[in-house]
Structure 1
Amino acid sequence: MIASTVVWLLLVLILPFSGVVTAAFSEGTASMVNALTSREATHAFTITGIVTVIVVLFNGIVGTMLAFELARGKRQTKRLSAVLHAIVDLPFSVSPVIAGLMILLIFGPSTMLGTFFGHIGVKIVFALPGMVLATIFVTFPLMVREIAPVLTAIGTTAEEAAATLGAGPVRTFWTVTWPMIRWAVGYGLVLTMARSVGEFGAVLVVSGNIMNQTQTATTLIYQHAVNNEMVAANSIAFVLGMFSACVLLVLEWMKQRKEGKKDAHRSAAVGKAIWIVSSR
């Protein structure tokens, strides 16, 4: 079974990526560098970076808050909690293309909201805001699903102890809660960043794939492939592939650190809660 798994990974992952690397360097390093430093490529990388930063910041804040609400908030009925969980998981079950189409139908130029924002000079669809909205929708569950289980697992004992001993909510969070969830937060941020960089379907629909205006790295790969410019397409794909490999290494490192220090953080949190009052 292990041998079969290795062969399968070889066929679906290693061999295709090897083909991308070979094609990227097929006409020499100079051609690859020219493809990566062209005006279209630099603009696409810039747009990808801007979208990724905005999405990571938004999901990092809102996703963490929602994870706390799902794990620690008081629900009047189980049905409400189930609805919230279903809404969070919705992007997992909806195709990114459909997500982009929904944004297009809501904020398109001929819609009521699209017309309203157009009158005040804000363009949503076929512009950066629509690309950000589409990427946020696709990546939103990643932060919540990394943090909420950790909050549920650690419980509220340490936080209640700190509150009982006189610590305020802010001090309790930074000295007790944060050390126990910081690896989960980092893990979610890295996953969000990787997913944002690689998003294609939703962004393609809402951006219009306008060259030097709304193209990201992934949609530029698509454009080069359609135009049969395979060296340029594979060069950009090679960069994104190396970025993905680095992300995997970071995630594995974070996972090992999180597993190795989980128990230590729990014990340290209780000790800090006691120290808070003893130092007052």
Structure 2
Amino acid sequence: MADIRRISRRKSPFTYALRLLVIAYLFLLVAWPVSLVVTNTFENGFDALNAVFADADTVAALRLTATAAVIATAINTVFGITISLLLVRTTFPGQRLLGSLIDLPLAISPIVVGLSLVLVYGGRGGWFGPALESAGVQIIFATPGIVMATAFVALPLVVREVVPVLEEIGTEQEQAARSLGASGWQTLWRITLPGIKWAVVYGVVLTLARSLGEFGAVKVVSGNILGETRTATLAVEEKYLNWEQESAYAIAFLLASVSVLCIIVVSLLRTRTERH
């Protein structure tokens, strides 16, 4: 038995080579590029960040991005929990199709998502666009379109966190609560939601991080109107192409910082859950 343990602990050269390959891959693809954004942002101290917050249009872009991300996250949280309960706790025709459709935003390009929204809600030739605009509601080239595009691309994240937890906890406690006279809402609030709260938190944090960085779909539906529908990610592209690299690096740093903070929060929450 001791020999077997000694052999299992002994690392082969292939294992070390594989580890080195993985580390090099992550360094070249993730760590090094992100670190360059940070170093370029603070190359002249805090001048780049000060310039970003001194520009009213850039501040408006950051505010719009935060607003759209928060609204999209709230929408996806409510519908994500609802869809998860529908997929796990009920049986109906087309259930597998619905589960596949949830993953659609992960499979198609965000540019296609934006174009699809334009075809449905656009003012020129869209299915519902002319009727909505005649009623005074504008979707495309306005904040609602940005929110819809952001919510679409981040849709699966809450669902894919909650569904496995719902399947794991089962229905025994919910059935016991109903047998004791609890209503459906009481069972939901006191039994189901507390059981999936950490999964919901993971999904919310990941959805927020994904929403803040959305570019492709938002670029199609926003119109990139300065001070109105230009988001932070669009501002990064515009400033970089216009040779305002310091501002582009600073905005990218702010977005990346929030995303990294979200990942740290998720890691800490996962560690806390595993301890309990």
Q: Which amino acid aligns with 1:70?
A: L
Question: Conserved in 2, the CA contact under 8 Å of 1:207 and 1:215?
Answer: yes
User: Which sits farther off after the overlay, 151-160 or 28-37?
Assistant: 28-37
Deviation larger for 125-134 or 111-120: 111-120
2:250 corresponds to? 235
Post-superposition shift, 1:186?
0.6
- Which one of 252, 259, 267 corresponds to residue 252 of structure 1? 267
CA distance in 1, matches of 2:42, 2:200: 38
Q: Does residue 171 in structure 1 map to residue 186 in structure 2?
A: yes
Q: Does 1:187 align with 2:195?
A: no
2:52 touches 2:59 (CA, 8 Å); kept in 1?
no
SS in 1 for 2:182: coil
Q: How many residues align?
A: 258
Cα deviation 1:223-254 (Å, max 9, x = unaligned): 11111110000011111111121111101012
Q: How does 1:1-280 map to 2 (within 5 A)?
A: 1-75=18-92, 77=93, 80-111=94-125, 112-261=127-276
Higher relative contact order (CA 8 A, sep 6+): 1
Superposition RMSD on alpha carbons, in Å?
1.4
Output the amino acid matched with 2:64. I
How many angstroms apart in 1 are the aligned matches of 2:120 and 2:219? Answer: 16
Q: Give yes or no for contact 1:55–1:136 (8 Å, CA) kept in 2.
A: yes
CA distance in 2, matches of 1:249, 1:90: 27
The CA distance in 2 between the partners of 1:232 and 1:25, in whole Å, is 11
State the Cα deviation string for residues 170-195 of structure 1 (Å, max 9, x = none). Answer: 22222222221000011111111111
TM-superposed deviation, 1:165: 2.2
Letter in 1 for 2:115: L
What is the DSSP-based 3-state SS (H/G/I as helix, E as strand, rest coil) of the residue aligned with 1:222?
helix
| Unpaired stretches in structure 1, ≥5 consecutive residues | 262-280
Per-residue Cα deviation, 1:127-173 (whole angstroms, up to 9, x for no partner): 11111111111111111111111111111011111211222222222
SS of 2:154's partner is helix
Q: 2:62 and 2:174 mapped to 1: Cα distance?
A: 43
Q: Which residue of structure 2 aligns with residue 278 of structure 1?
A: none
Tell me, yes or no, if the aligned pair for 2:157 and 2:207 is still in contact at 8 Å. Answer: yes
Provide runs of 4+ in structure 1 moved above 3 Å.
Answer: none
Contact 1:209 1:215 (8 Å CA) reproduced:
yes
Q: Quote the Cα distance in structure 2 between the aligned partners of 1:124 and 1:171.
A: 37
Identity %: 39
Conserved 8 A contact 2:161-2:203: yes
Gaps of 5+ in 2: 1-17
